[in-house]
Amino acid sequence: MSPSLYKKVGIASIIMMGSIFFSRLFGFVRLMVIAYVGGRGADVDAYQVAFVIPEILNHIVASGFLSITFIPIFSRYLVENQEEQGWKVFSIVLTGFGTLLLLFIVISEAFAPELVAIIARGRPDLNFREQAITMTRIIIPAQFFFFSGGLFMAVQFAKEKFLIPAFAPLIYNLGIIGGGILLSPWIGMQGFSWGVLTGALVGNFALQWWGAKKVGMKFSLTFNFKHPDLKTYTKLTLPLIFGLTMFFSMEIFMKFFGSYLPPGSIADLEYSFRTMLLLVAFFGQAAGVASYPFMARLVAEKKMQEMNQLLNNTLKYLSLVIPFSVLMMVLRNELILILLQRGNFDAEATGHAAGVLTYFLIGAFAIAANTIIPRAYYAMQDTLFPAIYGTIAVILSVPFYLLGLKMMGARGVALAVSLSAILQVFFLYALWNKRSQNKRSKEV
């Protein structure tokens, strides 16, 4: 790598790390505001359930994976000095998948009552259902902004512009916080839903459209389902759509199984899960983001033993999550009180969330390790195996949730999340060791 490229990568890393840090910070402030306004009321449960259909739509068009799927295709045209062709493919993908997404949005809006009834099967309460349906309908259109905004950001990344995309998650979170604070006195939790839509419109769509325009975006409505690059894009995207990731399944299962529990339980799960994620984000995300480029380079240079050494060392570093989890278990009540106990989030709510937090912390190490181990496969350009493995693991984890729900309520659901995470990561690492002949894995 040339020195100027090193400098560019360094600047980009600083911008993205700053963006991740502030996004996490604002994300937690968002949770604090939700706790302040809604406490552990049933309408907070409804607000959480309202995210399930939008999350599924987001997964269907793989909005979160555009850096893996679209950037390589677009970058190839830039390298070959065929930028016009690159914009043509951009238009084809945006038109094709954007239309498909709009179609799904219209269908989901129409069938929101039926879909919410499936997701929140365990909660037949009419007022709860009505709240969840209304908020679902408000949030759903935001998925179009996430997808198109994701493409606008991808072209900026490909052109090595990082500053404007870095603002997307910050403005999105500020939108939710602002919506909640300004509108909740009149419309309660629905204020947050309008904040989601506004944040996505401003941060992910409008701002990124402007950013993409600045790097020369050329868009024209183009339907061409036979274009070879659309086929390549679809081929790359399909395993990601059908592969269920650990995080995706956790988010859905917590709400689905939580609906069978008394009102406030989904809120308990959400507050404690996000608190546990603070620990995972602190150790896991930084290690994952930092080690991935090196893993990819070592694989490219066919230095598998060095790559394994890096993976083993990263996992050893991550084992620090275990004593910190113990610290958080000991201080569970104090932590929840300090972070969330304000406004409508009272001492009783603290007790509930703290109780659930302990069970999430059991699996914190595995959840952190899951930000690293699949990257070893990605570094080998293998997205298919983790996708298939993830889907099988998610299906096999269902009995844990059923048993946990029946025996221990919300705490059981949290324990199921932890146990399934531990088993998923353990077997994925064991399979990796066998495949890559990782001789020093026992050190971990």
Binding site for another protein (CB under 8 A): 316-317, 320, 322-323, 325-327, 329-331, 333-335, 337-338, 341, 347
Residue 290: name the closest of 8, 16, 28, 24 by CA.
16
Identity of the residue, 300 or 326, whose beta carbon is nearer to another protein in the bound complex: 326
Q: Environment class of residue 302 by beta-carbon count within 10 Å: exposed (0-12), middle (13-18) or buried (19+)?
A: exposed
Identity of the residue, 304 or 331, whose beta carbon is nearer to another protein in the bound complex: 331
The least CB distance from residue 331 to another protein, in Å, is 5
The least CB distance from residue 350 to another protein, in Å, is 9
Give CA–CA dist 50/227, Å, rounded.
36
Identity of the residue, 233 or 365, whose beta carbon is nearer to another protein in the bound complex: 365
The least CB distance from residue 282 to another protein, in Å, is 14
Identity of the residue, 189 or 337, whose beta carbon is nearer to another protein in the bound complex: 337
The least CB distance from residue 425 to another protein, in Å, is 15
The least CB distance from residue 334 to another protein, in Å, is 4
Identity of the residue, 13 or 441, whose beta carbon is nearer to another protein in the bound complex: 441
The least CB distance from residue 320 to another protein, in Å, is 8
Identity of the residue, 301 or 346, whose beta carbon is nearer to another protein in the bound complex: 346
Distances (CA, A) of 41 to 11, 30, 200: 44, 17, 26
